[in-house]
Amino acid sequence: MPDPPPLSLSLRPWPINLNPDSSEQLPSLISRIQAQYGHFRGVSEASLEAEIASASDPTATTDSNTTPPPQLHPEPSSPPPSPPNTGFQSTLDSTSSANNVANPNEPTDAAKAKAEMLETLMSAHEDAMLMLDYLSLLVSQHQPEMGTATMSPALKQVVKPGTLGWDRVTRKIDPKAYTVDDKVTRSWKRAGLESAASALLDASKTLVTRIEKEQKYWEQVKAIRDEGWTVVRHPKEKNVLAVRYGFAESGDMFREKGIGALRMKDDGSVVMDDVGVTGIHGNALLRVRIMKNGETIGISVQKERRNGVPGSLRDQIERARNFIYDDELFFELCREARLLAHVGVRTEEGSVAIDLADQRCIIIDMQPLDTDLTDPSDLLSSLTPNDSETAQAILTTLRILLSYCHRASYHRRSQPPPPITPNKPKPPPLSLLRPIATHLFHQTSISNLRLILTKLSKSALAAGFPRAGLGFTISPYIHLAEKAKSPEFMKQENGVEKTIKLFSDALESVATVTLPGKVHCAIKIRTRLQPAWMGTKFSVTVTAGNSSDKDVVGEVDGESIKQQQHAEFWMIEGVGDYIQLCLERGIVREILTWKLGWRQEVEDGEIAKSIDGVARKVRVAVGRNGVSVTEGVTGGRDEIWVWGEDWGGDPEGRGLREVLERSRKKTAP
Amino acid sequence: MSSSTTDPTGQSYRVLQNRINTNIEILYKRYENILSLAPLTLERRDAEGRVIAHDKKDKTLAMAEAFQMETHASAMIRAAEDLLALTRSLKEAWIFGQIGGDEDVVKKIRAETDMDAAVVGEKLVEKVTKEVVGDF
């Protein structure tokens, strides 16, 4: 079957068919035909045959008394819409089925129905006007002003007002007609009364049901309102109530979305409709996962706190509120993560990832609520409860922080507004990730430092130094005590805000290390992710106790270590190296106090003694393996002892002191 | 009849009262009308107004009266619905008169949260500042 002729849309108005035989119509007709079927030049035998075939095809043709099948010789085709008085019913029946493939100029059913309706209305109108004229003519005899006012001008021209009279005529009443009339009268009356009665009864029934529905509806709405939710008018639809579950302090994006329409179901109970999609994620909640080496080792649980019966109105509202809360949270997280890219926070499509040391990373994304854990098989095996708890804690913290940020913006809004400037400042990203990242980085630094110090201490212990002179203590978060006493802090009355304020901003911890040789190191770790400097800073202060100022412990980079030395590092490795250096110096100092005759010449880590004219040197070095002592003669063979954290370098388990004394004895005459 | 989509708190109490009265009156009057149109006969009165005879009503008159009865009935229904709409708008006005829900409920919840938060904060500070002594 050939394709139906394509729909051609012309912007020229239809020609007015005042003179159907006029030859003016011809040029426009020709141009229309050319637009629809192609130029005359394109006519070929094949195309003509195709036209004929499609014309004779019953599914493609329309009825004969409407538009004729498309022909190429110029013939006035009837302009649509066809005049309403030509055989309407038949055309309706025949063309309704063929309308899909018919000539698109054919009027549709709707147009035909409209024309028919107009026609009947016109005739009714004419009848009414005629009646009005007649009555007004009658009335004009008795009350000329009233009658002539309603008479039409045409009637007034033809017939003068007041010319029609009337009188009552008594005529013989036909008894049969009388009884028939009587019956008709009765039945009409009865029908009228019945219809009125039934209308009233039906109306009363529907009203009763409506009242019950309304009552139920309003009871529920009142119950919601009593719980504290705000009921407002729907912004777009009239006469529809809506409940506002969004948060007033959300950003611009989310404020309009927090409204749910309360619609009435058939029995009057309330159903909440989602007005405006709740964010791009739909029904999704935030999820935190901890991954190590690509495997998930901890995952947060999407446990919603349901206060009401699932499916009830309150439950719906709470669910919607949770969704929009997490939506906003994720949105703000993404915005903030862009700022922290240089600290190790990555943003990928749909997720935010924080890279921690030791191949761990934390991934935050949105998980649709309806689907359970996506890959249950490989997730369950690698999960550790500890990490899952951490993930859950992070999730809870994020939510608390968003709430705190809302409060902060509320306080900000309550202040008098700043002076108006032409450019409106964009609100800064909320600090949601920053406190968490600060805390995590800080913890990492502390644990790394702890490892380093433990290792060093163990090595020193293995080397025989007394435990009393070794040790370290880490006091985490010492800034809290100080901060809690600051006057600005005491002003806060709100318990929630107090707690959170403690842990935001910079975190500070202090580690004190005691090394042999009465060397004390105080390491101050400060982690801060605010614009001034972002990252972790280690400040190490070394004091060589019990030393007079003349005592120079050694040299570092050409500078003598005086009584108190101060250094700052940005990486934990630098701190580790520095502490190792301090340990070296400390050991050397200790050795010197043993008064075994060694003397320190001003070189790093080396002490020398001259015995029998042979200069023996002992070099103390602290490295990754532990404390290593190299003893030897210039030009001779060196002996090396290494004390690591778990093992002593000497097969006989001797400490450094014994080794040195033995060597002294060895060389003594 | 006044429109029922606008907030009736803009109108005074008197207007609402008038509306109620109007509607009730409509209900009564129309009912009366229906009943008065019901009889099949028409009374013929003499010059003094006394009833002298009952004439049967014409069928065309009966038809017209039937139509009138239906009209009156629908007017009654409309009046009743208007009363319903009035009650609904009153309810809406009441519910919007107090915005934000009960302050007391919110305050209570807030106070509880504050106390909890203070306790949690203290515990957290304790835990976190616990010293780590070098154990080797």
- Condensed to tens digits (0 to 9), the pLDDT of residues A266-291 reads 776 777 776 444 555 667 788 888 88
Which stretches of A293-343 are assigned E, i.e. beta strand? 295-299
What's the pLDDT tens digit per position in A395-425?
888 888 888 888 888 888 888 888 888 887 7
What is the pLDDT, as a whole number, of residue A73? 43
What is the pLDDT, as a whole number, of residue A72? 44
Mutate to test the interface with A, among B60, B69, B105, B126 (most CBs of A within 10 A): B69
Cα B57 to chain centroid distance, Å, stands at 42
Q: A345 pLDDT exceeds 90? A: no
Q: Are residues B69 and B83 in the same domain?
A: yes
Exposure of B35 in the CB half-sphere (CA atoms within 13 A): 6
Distance of alpha carbon A33 from alpha carbon A68, whole angstroms = 14
Please choose, from the candidates A289, A294, A286, A295, the residue with its C-alpha nearest in 3D space to the C-alpha of residue A391: A289
Q: Are residues B129 and B69 in the same domain?
A: no
Question: Is B125 at the interface with chain A, CB within 8 A?
Answer: yes
Q: How confident is the model at residue A201 (pLDDT cuts 50, 70, 90)?
A: very high
What is the pLDDT, as a whole number, of residue B9? 53
Contact of A589 with A517, CB cutoff 8 Å: yes
What is the pLDDT, as a whole number, of residue A494? 67
How does A337-350 read in b/e, with b if 16+ C-beta sit within 10 Å?
A: bebbeebbbebeee
Distance of alpha carbon A401 from alpha carbon A350, whole angstroms = 21
Instruction: Identify the residue with better confidence: A351 or A378.
Output: A351
Question: Is A211 at the interface with chain B, CB within 8 A?
Answer: yes
Instruction: Check B124 against A233: CB less than 8 A apart.
Output: no
Cα A82 to chain centroid distance, Å, stands at 56
Residue type, A591: I
Q: Are residues A279 and A316 in the same domain?
A: yes
Which of A188, A199, A227 faces B77 most closely, judged by CB atoms? A199
Q: What's the token pair of residue B37?
A: 């149109």
Q: A17 pLDDT exceeds 70? A: no
Alpha helices in A479-542 (DSSP H): 479-485, 487-490, 495-503
Classify residue A631: in a domain, yes or no: yes
Distance of alpha carbon A511 from alpha carbon A244, whole angstroms = 51
Q: Are residues A344 and A491 in the same domain?
A: no
Q: What's the token pair of residue B66?
A: 């039937």
Contact of A322 with A244, CB cutoff 8 Å: no
| Least-confidence region, from A129-143, A194-208, A332-346, A376-390 | A376-390
CA A420-A421-A427 angle, to 5 degrees, is 90
Q: B2 pLDDT exceeds 50? A: no
Cα B37 to chain centroid distance, Å, stands at 32
User: How many other C-beta atoms lie within 10 A of the C-beta of residue A228?
Assistant: 15
Instruction: Check B134 against A472: CB less than 8 A apart.
Output: yes
| Least-confidence region, from A407-416, A589-598, B19-28, B55-64 | A589-598
pTM above 0.90, yes or no: no
What is the pLDDT, as a whole number, of residue A441? 85
Q: How confident is the model at residue B78 (pLDDT cuts 50, 70, 90)?
A: very high
Q: Are residues A396 and A477 in the same domain?
A: no
Residue A212: its H or E element:
helix A175-226
- Count how many domains chain A has: 3
Q: Are residues B1 and B21 in the same domain?
A: yes
Q: Are residues B5 and B65 in the same domain?
A: yes
Instruction: Identify the residue with better confidence: A25 or A516.
Output: A516
Phi/psi at A108 (nearest 5 deg)? -80, 170
Contact of B37 with B61, CB cutoff 8 Å: no
Q: B60 pLDDT exceeds 80? A: yes
Classify residue A196: in a domain, yes or no: no
Most confident of A45-49, A110-114, A564-568: A110-114
Q: Are residues A402 and A349 in the same domain?
A: yes
Range of the domain at A258: 230-414
Instruction: Check B73 against A181: CB less than 8 A apart.
Output: no
The residues with which B42 forms a beta bridge, in sequence order, are B55
User: How many other C-beta atoms lie within 10 A of the C-beta of residue A249?
Assistant: 19
Q: Are residues B87 and B128 in the same domain?
A: no
| Least-confidence region, from A94-98, A196-200, A628-632 | A94-98
Q: A296 pLDDT exceeds 80? A: no
Q: Are residues A476 and A393 in the same domain?
A: no
Instruction: Identify the residue with better confidence: B62 or A593.
Output: B62
The residues with which A510 forms a beta bridge, in sequence order, are A475, A524
Chain A: give the shortest CA distance to residue B19, in Å: 19
In this prediction, residues A604-616 reach a mean pLDDT of 64
CB contacts, 8 Å: A207 with chain B: 80-81, 84
What is the pLDDT, as a whole number, of residue A152? 78
Q: Are residues B96 and B133 in the same domain?
A: no
Mutate to test the interface with A, among B128, B133, B135 (most CBs of A within 10 A): B128
Classify residue A393: in a domain, yes or no: yes
Q: Are residues A616 and A489 in the same domain?
A: no
In this prediction, residues A481-487 reach a mean pLDDT of 71
Q: Are residues B12 and B52 in the same domain?
A: yes
Q: What's the token pair of residue A19?
A: 């003179």
Cβ partners under 8 Å of residue A221, min gap 6: A231, A241, A262, A270, B95
Q: Are residues A239 and A321 in the same domain?
A: yes
**Chain A residue closest in CA terms to B100:** A230
Instruction: Check A227 against B101: CB less than 8 A apart.
Output: yes
Q: Are residues A510 and A633 in the same domain?
A: no
CA A578-A580-A583 angle, to 5 degrees, is 115
| Least-confidence region, from A88-97, A617-626, B45-54 | A88-97
Restricting to B residues 31-60, those with a Cβ less than 8 Å away from any Cβ of A are: 34, 37-38, 40, 56-59
Question: Is A436 at the interface with chain B, CB within 8 A?
Answer: no
Q: Are residues B79 and B126 in the same domain?
A: no
Restricting to A residues 225-264, those with a Cβ less than 8 Å away from any Cβ of B are: 225-233, 238-239, 241
Instruction: Identify the residue with better confidence: A202 or A619.
Output: A202
Q: A198 pLDDT exceeds 90? A: yes
Q: Are residues A392 and A468 in the same domain?
A: no
User: How many other C-beta atoms lie within 10 A of the C-beta of residue B60?
Assistant: 12
| Least-confidence region, from A141-145, A359-363, A599-603 | A599-603
What is the pLDDT, as a whole number, of residue A227? 77
Is the preceding peptide bond at A81 cis, omega within 30 degrees of 0?
A: yes
Q: Are residues B14 and B70 in the same domain?
A: yes
- Count how many domains chain B has: 2
Distance of alpha carbon A78 from alpha carbon A65, whole angstroms = 10
Distance of alpha carbon A345 from alpha carbon A341, whole angstroms = 5
Burial class (CB in 10 A: 0-12, 13-18, 19+), A191: middle
Distance of alpha carbon A529 from alpha carbon A669, whole angstroms = 64
| Least-confidence region, from A70-84, A190-204, B65-79 | A70-84
Please choose, from the candidates B11, A249, A34, the residue with its C-alpha nearest in 3D space to the C-alpha of residue B1: B11
Q: Indicate the residue among A365, A381, A414 that finishes a domain.
A: A414
Distance of alpha carbon A33 from alpha carbon A242, whole angstroms = 57
Q: Indicate the residue among A591, A616, A644 that finishes a domain.
A: A591
In this prediction, residues A494-506 reach a mean pLDDT of 73
- A471-475 and A614-622 strand pairing: unpaired
Contact of A67 with A95, CB cutoff 8 Å: no
Chain A: give the shortest CA distance to residue B93, in Å: 10
Q: How confident is the model at residue A652 (pLDDT cuts 50, 70, 90)?
A: low
Q: Indicate the residue among A591, A615, A645 that finishes a domain.
A: A591
Distance of alpha carbon A107 from alpha carbon A58, whole angstroms = 19
Classify residue A343: in a domain, yes or no: yes
Q: A92 pLDDT exceeds 50? A: no
Question: pLDDT averaged over chain A?
Answer: 74
What is the pLDDT, as a whole number, of residue A610? 59
Q: Are residues A547 and A663 in the same domain?
A: no
What is the pLDDT, as a whole number, of residue A89? 44
Q: Are residues A570 and A657 in the same domain?
A: no
Classify residue A213: in a domain, yes or no: no
What is the pLDDT, as a whole number, of residue A208? 92
The H helix count followed by the E strand count for chain A is: 17, 20
Contact of A663 with A594, CB cutoff 8 Å: no
Q: What percent of chain A has pLDDT over 70?
A: 72
What is the pLDDT, as a whole number, of residue A70? 44
Chain A: give the shortest CA distance to residue B43, in Å: 16
Chain A: give the shortest CA distance to residue B71, in Å: 8
**Chain A residue closest in CA terms to B68:** A192
Classify residue A137: in a domain, yes or no: no
What's the pLDDT tens digit per position in B4-51?
444 445 567 888 889 899 999 999 999 998 888 888 888 777 777 777
What is the pLDDT, as a whole number, of residue A67? 42
Range of the domain at B15: 1-100
Classify residue A632: in a domain, yes or no: yes
Please choose, from the candidates A39, A11, A15, the residue with its C-alpha nearest in 3D space to the C-alpha of residue A28: A15
What is the pLDDT, as a whole number, of residue A373? 46
Which of B57, B66, B118 faces A499 most closely, judged by CB atoms? B118
Q: What percent of chain A has pLDDT over 90?
A: 4
Q: A546 pLDDT exceeds 60? A: no
What is the pLDDT, as a whole number, of residue A276? 47
Q: How confident is the model at residue A224 (pLDDT cuts 50, 70, 90)?
A: confident
Residue type, A215: Q
Q: Are residues B28 and B57 in the same domain?
A: yes
Which of B69, B70, B121 faces A498 most closely, judged by CB atoms? B121
Contact of A559 with A585, CB cutoff 8 Å: no
Q: How confident is the model at residue A172 (pLDDT cuts 50, 70, 90)?
A: confident
Q: Are residues B95 and B107 in the same domain?
A: no
Burial class (CB in 10 A: 0-12, 13-18, 19+), B128: middle
Classify residue A157: in a domain, yes or no: no
Q: Are residues B9 and B76 in the same domain?
A: yes
Contact of A584 with A553, CB cutoff 8 Å: no
What is the pLDDT, as a whole number, of residue A206? 93
Q: Are residues A549 and A651 in the same domain?
A: no
